[in-house]
Amino acid sequence: MASTNDLKNGMVLNLEGQLWTVVEFQHVKPGKGPAFVRTKLKNVTSGKSIDKTFNAGTKVETSNVDKQTMQYLYNDGTDFIFMDPGTFDQIPVTPEVMGEASKFLLENNEAVVARHEGNVLYVELPPSVELEITYTEPGLQGDRSTGGSKSATVETGAEISVPLFLEQGTRVKVDTRDGSYLGRVN
């Protein structure tokens, strides 16, 4: 348990059985009435954000979420298998927990795995990854006023939008948050 006066960004609260991360908080002392704490919270599992106000000094339940850098080994057909590089322990992560992150994950890459009481909550990839284009149509020059783009498939199977001049076999940098093209890699 902690007081709302002790809140910090990144702290995880257990509210009504759900885990919420404190994104931002503000202590407010109005001229009239008691002080309060205005917070912006993000649900750890769903990613949904809410605004919540607490009276100053209210007790809230906190939870420990263990974040650990782990190495992705392989997909066994149903689950994604991650390994702790220090102890070599392997843990399975379900496709539901992986979500969109699975589109940009290559074997032997590292990711941050967040766990609470042994349960995997989410997998956080680095902000960008380098992937090779495995298939794309040849770019055609046409009459356009701006640089065009085309669809390309990368080695993980994800489809991204790339500039027309890129060809098959080119290594590109991809933003893991939204799947956007960031540039070529030499």
Q: Is 3's pLDDT higher than 50?
A: yes
Same structural domain, 179 and 135? yes
Q: Assign residue 118 the CATH number of its domain.
A: 2.40.50.140
Domain end: 106, 124, 142, which one? Answer: 124
Instruction: Note whether 9 and 23 are within 8 A (CB).
Output: yes
Q: Determine if the pTM surpasses 0.75.
A: no
166's tokens: 């890129």
What amino acid is encoded at 178 in this protein?
Answer: D
Question: What integer pLDDT is reported at residue 68 of this predicted model?
Answer: 92
Same structural domain, 107 and 138? no
Q: Is 145's pLDDT higher than 70?
A: no
Where are any strands of DSSP class E within 33-169? Answer: 36-43, 49-55, 59-60, 66-75, 80-83, 90-93, 110-116, 119-124, 128-136, 149-154, 159-163
Q: Is 143's pLDDT higher than 60?
A: no
**Residues 164-181: tens digit of each pLDDT:** 888 899 999 999 888 899
Same structural domain, 51 and 21? yes
Number of structural domains (the chain) is 3
Range of the domain at 102: 66-124
**Residues 15-54: tens digit of each pLDDT:** 988 899 898 999 999 988 899 999 999 988 787 899 999 9
